[in-house]
């Protein structure tokens, strides 16, 4: 007979590491967090990430916080520390074309599921930011504003955000007319002006109304190496940090 676990309550102001500590004491030694970046953008990929941080002082990453609360330089520092310290992490890149075909929410949930599934260390419990994710094979909990509550979700948010920002900066070289390096594909006055002047490129999300109404006769006009209409696969970027030799 499996002993019933006592119900545990974690205060939202208990600190970034309290939830994982409570879950470990409840018998879940490996806790993974998952989050996304790019959900609100109208250009570029959606990026999801999952992360397992080690227990103890090593898992208390300096400056770790919700990626949206960090400066770009601080995010890069935290990203490097998460990659160095993590027991395991995984990053999934979902192209804009897939978002148009499948829908944003479907891609978001599938991306979170895939990020958790591709972790080299199988979690005993999964925490996701905002959205419940079924089919994980382990217990899980969707946490409202989880990147401000659980360290593993905050770490995943930094992995996703930094990865996506780097992708968008790279796309700036291919599509300089849109200034992706500045706004990272989100709606700004400058981005809207570029869309009015040039129309969308292949990296825009044509299922979004602000892109669709500018699309007729303009798709790919300013694209370099335009890949519109090409079937794409999700890209998995994952790594494991071994305890030995760190």
pLDDT tens string 114-165: 999 999 999 999 999 998 999 999 999 999 999 999 999 999 999 999 999 9
* Domain identity same for 191 and 163: no
What is the per-residue pLDDT for 232? 38
* Residue 8 falls inside a structural domain: no
Read off the pLDDT band of 224 (50, 70, 90).
very low
What is the per-residue pLDDT for 13? 58
* Domain identity same for 35 and 56: yes
* Residue 219 falls inside a structural domain: no
* Residue 164 falls inside a structural domain: yes
* Domain identity same for 155 and 204: no
Tell the residue number behind the tokens 């370099």, with chain if given. Answer: 224
* Domain identity same for 49 and 144: yes
* Residue 218 falls inside a structural domain: no
Q: Domain containing 196: what range?
A: 170-212
**Residue after which a domain boundary falls, among 143, 169, 195:** 169
Q: How many CA atoms lie within 13 A of 65 on its CB side?
A: 8
What is the per-residue pLDDT for 88? 98
Read off the pLDDT band of 10 (50, 70, 90).
low
Q: Is the pLDDT of residue 188 over 50?
A: yes
* Residue 159 falls inside a structural domain: yes
What is the per-residue pLDDT for 243? 35
Instruction: Indicate the helix (H) or strand (E) that contains 192.
Output: helix 189-198
* Domain identity same for 139 and 196: no
Nearest to 23 by CA among 143, 136, 137, 121: 143
* Domain identity same for 27 and 140: yes
Question: How many other C-beta atoms are found inside a 10 Å radius of the C-beta of residue 10?
Answer: 16
* Domain identity same for 116 and 153: yes
Work out the percent of the chain whose per-residue pLDDT is above 90: 78
- DSSP secondary structure of 98-120: HHHHH-HHHHHHHHHHHHHHT-S
What is the per-residue pLDDT for 15? 79
Global pTM value: 0.85
What is the per-residue pLDDT for 14? 54
Please give the average per-residue pLDDT across 27-40, as a whole number: 97
Tokens standing for residue 2 = 């499996």
* Domain identity same for 153 and 36: yes
pLDDT tens string 46-102: 999 999 999 999 999 999 999 999 999 999 999 999 999 999 999 999 999 999 999
Burial class (CB in 10 A: 0-12, 13-18, 19+), 58: middle
* Domain identity same for 25 and 35: yes
Query: Is residue 18 a contact partner of residue 140, using CB atoms and an 8 Å limit?
Result: no
CA distance 82 to 236: 18
* Domain identity same for 68 and 143: yes
């Amino acid at each position: 007979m499996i002993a019933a676990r006592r119900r545990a309550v974690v205060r939202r102001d208990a600190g970034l590491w309290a939830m994982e500590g409570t879950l470990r004491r409840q018998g879940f030694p490996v806790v993974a967090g998952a989050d996304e970046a790019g959900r609100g953008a109208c250009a570029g990929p959606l990026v999801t990430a999952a992360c397992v941080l080690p227990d103890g002082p090593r898992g208390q990453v300096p400056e770790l916080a919700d990626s949206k609360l960090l400066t770009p330089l601080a995010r890069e520092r935290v990203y490097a520390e998460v990659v160095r310290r993590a027991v395991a992490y995984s990053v999934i890149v979902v192209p804009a074309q897939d978002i148009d075909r499948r829908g944003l929410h479907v891609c978001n949930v599938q991306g979170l599921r895939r990020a958790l599934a591709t972790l080299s260390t199988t979690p005993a419990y999964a925490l996701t930011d905002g959205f419940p994710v079924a089919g994980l094979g382990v217990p899980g909990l969707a946490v409202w504003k989880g990147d401000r509550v659980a360290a593993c979700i905050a770490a995943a948010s930094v992995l996703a955000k930094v990865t996506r920002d780097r992708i968008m900066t790279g796309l700036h070289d291919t599509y300089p007319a849109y200034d992706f390096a500045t706004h990272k594909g989100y709606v700004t006055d400058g981005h809207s002006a570029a869309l009015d002047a040039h129309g969308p490129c292949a990296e825009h999300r044509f299922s979004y109304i602000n892109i669709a109404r500018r699309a007729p006769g303009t798709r790919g006009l300013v694209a370099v190496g335009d890949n519109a209409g090409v079937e794409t696969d999700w890209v998995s970027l994952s790594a494991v940090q071994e305890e030995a030799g760190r």
